[in-house]
Amino acid sequence: MDGCKRAGLPAIGLWREPVQETGVDATARMVADAGLRVSSLCRGGFLTAADPHERSNALDDNHRAIEEAAALGAHCLIMVVGGLPLGSLDLTGARARVTDGIAALAPHAEQCGVRLALEPMHPMYCADRGVLSTLGQTLDLAEKFPAEQVGVVVDSFHVWWDPDVLSQIARAAGRICSFQICDWITPLPADALLARGMMGDGHIDLAGLRQAVDAAGYRGDIEVEIFNADVWAADPDEVVATFIRRYVRHVLGD
Amino acid sequence: MDGCKRAGLPAIGLWREPVQETGVDATARMVADAGLRVSSLCRGGFLTAADPHERSNALDDNHRAIEEAAALGAHCLIMVVGGLPLGSLDLTGARARVTDGIAALAPHAEQCGVRLALEPMHPMYCADRGVLSTLGQTLDLAEKFPAEQVGVVVDSFHVWWDPDVLSQIARAAGRICSFQICDWITPLPADALLARGMMGDGHIDLAGLRQAVDAAGYRGDIEVEIFNADVWAADPDEVVATFIRRYVRHVLGD
């Protein structure tokens, strides 16, 4: 938060684990004192369990996450929907349980003024993290619900490769809860969960995606989200300064 | 070839590099002497270069690959179409050049009795290996040409995650040149190019894909293709024995 404030950034995306360590109310005060907003709370989801007990626990946890997002003033809760249960090959079933889970959570989210932001994840995470694999598939699910209850995340890392990405971003008008950016770098780092690069270091046409999101009417925050061991090890103020420069050049620029 | 023969397998997929080391005619004789067929020749493609000289070289090399496939009696040449040129963010342009390249090669392929087998690749290879990312997108391209000129490969590793995979396999009837199998294992091994697992060790509903390919009328060879350092280091006869058992259980079985 201090780094964001020093750099003049208006908002910060928060993750539940550090928020819970600090406490939700204390975090909300820190954000307000820093003059920041919470762009999103990450993350709810993990709704694919077939076991009734696990499923019930997951729903309870998501209800709490919705309330935490509301207490933090986050307009959306990012939903990483979960992968295949251990030993299961039933991808269709896992996807159906995600739909059921969202149906169970959406009314509570609306009551709390928080949108469930479904995040399609890169297909390389389909088995173990998120069975929503394309923006089109995610919109098929989101559109079963009112737009004030359920929206989508457009994360450059997850969707850039999709031949339909531009038309699906246009279709997502009114549903986009967050536009998240980083780059796809090659060779892919050894840890697939830390494979993201700084904007401009990779292969994604970020300006093209930004224009599409603009054209779809999105006026919310653009979140820089770079899971990368080297970025995490670098001086935070330098990282922020770098991504601001890179944002201007590679995301705003054409 | 000896291992296939010992195990009673009827056919083997060949790669150009070892074929060229041995010589095309000598390889064809070895295959015939072993009582085998060539299920496919891997690989042509790499058609995304924007530079005219590189592009011309790539087309020349593909013409040679088509002739090699014909000399080996392979009914298809597997096409890995290539990733983004160095420094380029123009994915749409790269995909358009693939279409142009296939148009330039398809008549020669038909004259040689070889089908160009376009392989959609997992989206994690989009930047550096193959800009055809889904079976649907690949069929959109293939259908611009007669089925005897251009078909598709259904490789479980590349397509299993796709929400549309079953309907696209049905659509591919008459175009399927090869059904290739291996499993998606987690955690993803450090080298993304060697990330494939033995059937039954991962998350893919291989029996479901096999049934869909069957229902689409495919009666050709099923190719086991496992790029994995541990598999390569193991005793080849044991590997063949294992994949035969796994095939019966996880691919034929329900």
ipTM here: 0.96
In angstroms, rounded to a whole number, what is the distance separating the alpha carbons of residues B168 and B136?
6
Of A95, A190, A208, the CB nearest to B190: A190
Residues B73-91: pLDDT tens digits?
999 999 999 999 999 999 9
Number of Cβ pairs closer than 8 Å across A and B? 76
Q: How many CB atoms lie within 10 A of CB A242?
A: 16
A163 to B95: CB separation less than 8 angstroms, yes or no: yes
Return the residue in B134, B139, B199, B201 with the most chain A beta carbons within 10 A, the one to mutate for interface testing. B134
pLDDT interval class at B253 (50, 70, 90): confident
Q: How confident is the model at residue B95 (pLDDT cuts 50, 70, 90)?
A: very high
In A, which residues are within 8 Å of B137 by CB distance? 163
What are the backbone dihedrals phi and psi of residue B201, each rounded to the nearest 5 degrees, phi first? Answer: -90, 0
Four-residue CA torsion sign, B26, B30, B33, B35? negative
Q: Starting from the edge strand earliest in sequence, which strands make up the sheet with A222-224, in order?
A: A11-15, A37-45, A76-80, A115-118, A150-155, A176-181, A222-224
Count of alpha carbons within 13 angstroms of residue B41, beta-carbon side: 30
Cα dihedral A103/A105/A106/A109 (nearest 10): 180
Per the listing, tokens 């397998």 go with B9
Tokens of B118: 């376009």
Contact B214, B251 (CB under 8 A): no
Best CA proximity match to B226, nearest among B208, B214, B240: B240
Q: Is the pLDDT of residue B254 over 90?
A: no
* Residues from chain A contacting residue B208 (CB–CB below 8 Å): 89
Q: What percent of chain B has pLDDT over 90?
A: 98
Q: Is the pLDDT of residue B185 over 90?
A: yes
At B229 the three-state DSSP class reads: helix
CB pair distance less than 8 Å for A187 and B192 = yes
Note whether B34 and B5 are within 8 A (CB).
yes
Chain A contact set for B126 (CB, 8 A): 160-161, 184
Judge contact between B84 and B48, C-beta under 8 A.
Answer: yes
Q: Does A93 touch chain B (CB under 8 A)?
A: no
How close is the nearest chain B Cα to the Cα of A104, in Å? Answer: 23
Respond yes or no on whether the N-terminal peptide bond of residue B43 is cis (omega within 30° of 0).
yes
Positive or negative torsion for Cα A162, A164, A168, A170: positive
Distance (Å) from the alpha carbon of A197 to chain B's nearest alpha carbon = 13
The candidate with the shortest Cα–Cα distance to B58, out of B67, B42, B46, B75, is: B46
Question: Cβ of A250 under 8 Å from any chain B Cβ?
Answer: no
* Distant-in-sequence, close-in-space partners of B230: CB < 8 Å, separation ≥ 6: none
* Nearest alpha-carbon partner for A116 in A128, A127, A132: A132
Which chain A residues are Cβ-neighbours of B90 within 8 angstroms?
A: 205
Please state the φ and ψ torsions of residue B115, each to the nearest 5 degrees.
Answer: -90, 140
Pairing mode of beta strands B37-45, B150-155: unpaired
Beta carbons within 10 angstroms of residue A215's beta carbon: 12
User: What residues of A are in contact with residue B89 (Cβ under 8 Å)?
Assistant: 203-205, 208
Give CA–CA dist B150/B118, Å, rounded: 7
Which residue ranges of chain A lie beneath pLDDT 70?
254
Res B233 pLDDT > 80 = yes
- Rounded to the nearest angstrom, the minimum Cα separation between B136 and chain A is 10
Q: Which tokens is B18 given?
A: 């070892």
Taking only residues 12 to 41 of chain B, the set having a beta carbon closer than 8 angstroms to any beta carbon of chain A reads none
CA proximity to A105, closest of A51, A66, A57: A66
Angstrom distance (rounded) from CA A86 to CA A102: 21
**Torsion from C-alpha of A101, A102, A105, A107, nearest 10 degrees:** -140
A211, A215, A220, A226 alpha-carbon torsion, rounded to 10°: -30
CA distance B188 to chain A (A): 7
Q: What is the dihedral of CA B158, B162, B165, B167, to 10 degrees?
A: -160
Of A137, A218, A101, A206, the closest CA to residue B163 belongs to A137
pLDDT for A253 equals: 84
Q: Which residues does B147 contact at the CB level (< 8 Å), separation at least 6?
A: B174, B175
Residue in B98, B122, B126 to test binding to A, most A beta-carbons within 10 Å: B126
Tell me how close the Cα of B58 comes to any Cα of chain A, in angstroms: 22
C-beta atoms of B186 and A89 within 8 A: no
Please tell me what DSSP assigns to residue A138.
H
> Which residues are B15's β-sheet partners?
B42
C-beta of residue B143 within 8 angstroms of C-beta of residue B99: no
Whether B159 shows a pLDDT value over 90: the answer reads yes
Question: How far is residue B46's CA from residue B218's CA, in Å, rounded to a whole number?
Answer: 27
